A = this chain, B = another copy of it.
Amino acid sequence: MKKFLNSPDTILAESLDGFAAAHADLVVLGPGRQFVRRAGPVPGKVGLLSGGGSGHEPLHAGFVGRGMLDAACPGQVFTAPTPDQILAAAAAIDTGAGVLFIVKNYEGDVMNFDMAREMHAGRSETVLTDDDVAVETSTWSAGRRGVAGTLIVEKIVGAAAERGDDLAALTTLGRRVNAATRSMGVALTSCTVPAAGTPTFTLGDDEIEIGVGIHGEPGRRRERLRGADDLAAGMIGAILADLPAPPPEVLLLVNGFGATPLMELYLMFHAARRELAGAGVRVVRSLVGNYVTSLDMAGCSLTVTAMDEGLAALWDAPVHTPALRWGA
Contacts and interface: CB of A to CB of B under 8 A. Distances in A.
Interface string A262-275: 11111111110100
Nearest to A293: B261
Nearest to A226: B6
Contact of A264 (B3, B269, B271): B3
Most chain B beta carbons < 10 A, residue from A229, A259, A265, A283: A259
A111 interface: no
Interface in A280-322: 283, 286-288, 290, 293, 295-296, 298, 300
Interface residues of A, number: 59
Interface string A159-193: 00000000000000000000000000000110000
Interface string A1-36: 011111100011011111101100000000000000
A201 to B, nearest CB: 14
Given A21-B286, A326-B325, A4 B270 contact: no
Closest 8 pairs (CB-CB, A-B): A18-B270, A18-B266, A259-B259, A328-B328, A18-B269, A4-B264, A57-B262, A2-B188
Contact of A22 (B229, B258, B264, B266): B266
Given A17-B270, A267-B4, A62 B262 contact: yes
A22 B262 CA distance: 12
B296 A259 contact: yes
Given A5-B227, A264-B4, A259 B325 contact: no
A206 B206 CA distance: 25
A260 B228 contact: no
A231 interface: yes
B15 A267 contact: yes
A286 B25 CA distance: 11
A211 to B, nearest CB: 16
A94 B161 CA distance: 44
A3 to B, nearest CB: 6
Interface of A: 2-7, 11-12, 14-19, 21-22, 54-55, 57-58, 62, 188-189, 205-206, 208, 225, 227-229, 231, 258-271, 273, 283, 286-288, 290, 293, 295-296, 298, 300, 325-326, 328
A263 B8 CA distance: 12
A2 B225 contact: yes
B19 A266 contact: yes
A4 B228 contact: yes
Nearest to A257: B261
A325 B325 CA distance: 6
Contact of A267 (B18, B188, B295): B18
B288 A18 contact: yes
